[in-house]
Chains A and B, each alone.
Chain A
Amino acid sequence: MALDDYLEEARLAGRAFADYGAGFFRPTVRLGVTGLSRAGKTIFITSLIHALLHGTRLPVFEALNSGRIARVRLSPQPDAAIPRFEYEKHLRDLIEHRRWPESTRAISEIRIEIDYQSKRGSDKTLTLDIVDYPGEWLLDLLLLDKNYEEWSAEALALSRQGPRATIASQWHTHLASLDPKGPADEQQAITAAKLFTDYLIACRDERFAMNLLPPGRFLMPGDLAGSPAVTFAPLDLPRDEDAPSGSLWAMMQGRYEAYRSRVVRPFFREHFARLDRQIVLADVLSAINAGPEALSDLEATLTAVASSFNTGRRTILSSIFKPRADKILFAGTKADHLHHLQHDRLENILARMVARASRRSELAGAATDAIALAAIRATREAVVTRGAEKLPAIIGTPLAGERIGDETFDGTQETAIFPGDLPELIEGENHEWKFKGLAAASHDETDFRFLKFRPPLLDASAGREPSLPHIRLDRALQFLLGDRLE
């Protein structure tokens, strides 16, 4: 371990100690809403705040349902340097304009205070801190323990597999023309970084829906755009050699290290090392939409990301110096794209995907669960009878431009959709994914088709703010916060 690794550990412990002191007088839960981009973090947070503030129907969330929560309010956040989570704006977008919030471009934070009466009868207050950040940045956690050479080799190997190879061909051609040991050239670095970024962005297309695409700031640079810290790319490097000074290799290596120490570590230190509870949102349905490769890719990403969490049973020592998340919930989001009869299958698929990650957390003493969730439910359910066959379908308004079969939607018309039957997993059986997704087939040949829907039309009559419909948000809250509100 290098000196700066020890320094980093010391910083983490110091931070944790300060938090412990603050939490002593004000019980606080730092809820980590973790998820890759487009998994629905912003929507989950908005829906959660709205549900708590307005006391939406949350039957399974015992504290609210039995009336022990007296008051919930938003309060000023602790960090002065981080923007506030734009709850009101997101809510307006959802309710008034019926459009989903734009993808998150920068970090933001919000604090909620819950006044409740404990089961024994004393009045208490629980503070809930939630952080929202671009999901792309989550991928940076994978770089925490890798040096430039390791990362470079991995990224290259990955880009030569499956559908990625064709997407990356342009970058590969440019890469072949580079000499790692040649003199450093800024223009070469810029071109390589540009082509590499293009390849990463192309992988995210709906047809491929790949997720394992570090480094995250390449996809969502925030305020770093154009700086040297994001102007590097993997190189085809010889094994067991050192970078000659002044070479392209040395320059790239230096920039990678700068990225790691300036971007990745502070992000981890400020947000991930301090979490008490975690919810990991995963958009399994979009991956199924794209095909088996995307599904395996999502599985690899989730496993890798989850391995960088601090999880485990809480002890006094750990909560003072190294906070650990003692509950982790894996949630397959957008469950409203499926009829509820199929939710079990979605849960099974998700549980299998995160099996390794959750076993690791459970061994460390943390509780885990996997559920199908829809923070905001955009559809209703229906049954379509076709002869003797009954198809469980959902009714919603697809976004403009979405297509199914030979039909294209305009964003205003309601449609009943049968998205396909999810495969049923049999326990203990090694299941190979065999189905056609968008990556391999055209729009009318896929086995599944999960469209994007517009937010639901809510009844805002009688001057009351409408409550947002959801699926299992209450179960998620009960799992994550239930025991802290007892």
Chain B
Amino acid sequence: MNVSKPQSFRPDDPRVVLAAPDEPLLTRAELRELEAAEASSLPAVIESAPKKRRFWGKLFWSAAGGLVSLALGLAITNLVQSLFNYAPWLGWLALALTAIASLALLVIAGRELFAIFRLEKIERIQKRAVEVLVSDDRDEGRAVVGDMISLARTMPRLAKGRAAMENYSRDIIDGADYVRLAERELLSPLDAEARALVSSAAKRVSLVTAISPRAAVDMLFVLFNTLFLIRKLATLYGGRPGVLGMFRLMRHVISHLALTGGMAIGDSIVQQVLGHGLAAKLSAKLGEGVLNGLLTARLGIAAIEVTRPLPFAALPRPTLSDLAGNLLPTKKDA
């Protein structure tokens, strides 16, 4: 069992190295090995079941994409060539424009990719944090919080919380406690703002729905408002999604909403609205507005849960009545 017997060394012995305060005892490589070992021991994700269909789908989209790019390339080449035939200077101009356009496209693509990586990183942090909260694993907790701190580096307003967290790296704190501490230190200012964002979006939606003349108008408004809200929340929590990232986020938010029971029938506030017949007592339009506002708030909560880098553990999860309570000022009178 023991290879090494207990023994003593003089502190000035060159072999004795004082542990640097914030240096993890496992090296990065060791940690990655550990992660890999753990990942392989975890049960496979259920999503991977319909692999075959995915393969053919992917094949189709890649092939079709290739065809489209070929066609585009051919069209541009033809255009440049015919312009050269017309007048050489026009040809050169077209060539230069093509070069500039492709450079810009490259940069945009790079940015989109980068944004997706960022979103993925946040998702990964969140997933790992959930695991640490259960396992209370110290090294993994340190690693997650380390990633969280490096994410926070891009958010100037978190400087104070970040400094506090870096200060704590000397203390011996267990995994779950460390994640909770990071949540308290780093996310409480962001949470307050996220609540304000969702709450104001919900108010805006309910107002516009109530006064808009046509259903199409408020549908469009709700759509844009929602996209805008998700984007703002993601940016707030360090995500900065691009166009592709927005698609991805939308998908996640909606599936999260579906998982947590879309309409939230169980939510007391909706029950109150429906149960007391408040919506019916008010004018139909106003009732519709309140309901739309509630839905927006509900979606906002789902978006917060998806975009937030750490799960709600130490801080209270926002509830519908926090965010949409002010939509129903007449609740008590009703």
Contact = CB atoms under 8 A, between A and B. Distances in A.
A35 interface: no
B11 A414 contact: yes
Contacts of B13: 384, 416
Interface in A17-74: 57, 59-60, 62, 65-66
Interface in B49-96: none
A417 B173 contact: no
A366 to B, nearest CB: 20
Contacts of A475: 173-174, 177
Contact of A416 (B4, B9, B138, B168): B9
B152 to A, nearest CB: 17
Interface residues of B, number: 29
A407 B172 CA distance: 30
Contacts of B18: 380-382, 395
Interface string B125-147: 00000000000001000000000
Contacts of B19: 380-383
Contact of B5 (A62, A344, A420): A420
B7 A417 contact: yes
B15 interface: yes
Contacts of A343: 138, 172
Interface in B12-50: 13, 15-19, 25
A420 B4 contact: yes
B173 A60 contact: yes
Contacts of A362: none
Interface stretch (A181-189, A192-200, A441-449): A441-449
Contact of A421 (B4, B9, B172): B4
Interface in B172-210: 172-174, 177, 180-181, 184
Interface stretch (A98-106, A219-227, A315-323, A385-393): A385-393
Contact-residue bracket for chain A: 35 or more
A386 B25 CA distance: 16
B213 interface: no
A472 B184 CA distance: 18
B123 to A, nearest CB: 27
Nearest to A392: B25
Contacts of A416: 8-11, 13, 16
B2 interface: yes
A446 B6 contact: yes
B7 A404 contact: yes
Contacts of A89: none
Interface in A388-432: 389, 391-393, 395, 404-405, 407, 414-421, 423
Contact of B10 (A404, A415, A419, A434): A415
B171 A386 contact: no
A7 interface: no
Contacts of B3: 421
B223 interface: no
Contacts of B216: none
A256 to B, nearest CB: 43
B109 interface: no
A371 B15 CA distance: 31
Nearest to B168: A59
Contacts of B173: 59-60, 472, 474-475
A340 interface: yes
Given A65-B184, A417-B8, A420-B4, 14 more contacts: A59-B168, A60-B173, A62-B314, A343-B172, A383-B25, A386-B15, A393-B16, A405-B8, A415-B8, A416-B11, A418-B6, A421-B3, A435-B1, A435-B2
4 smallest beta-carbon distances between A and B, as pairs? A449-B6, A416-B9, A420-B6, A381-B19
Interface of B: 1-11, 13, 15-19, 25, 138, 168, 171-174, 177, 180-181, 184, 314
28 contacts: A57-B171, A59-B168, A59-B171, A60-B177, A60-B180, A60-B181, A340-B172, A381-B18, A384-B9, A384-B15, A384-B16, A384-B17, A391-B4, A393-B16, A405-B7, A416-B9, A416-B10, A416-B11, A417-B7, A418-B7, A418-B9, A419-B6, A420-B5, A446-B6, A447-B5, A472-B172, A472-B173, A474-B173
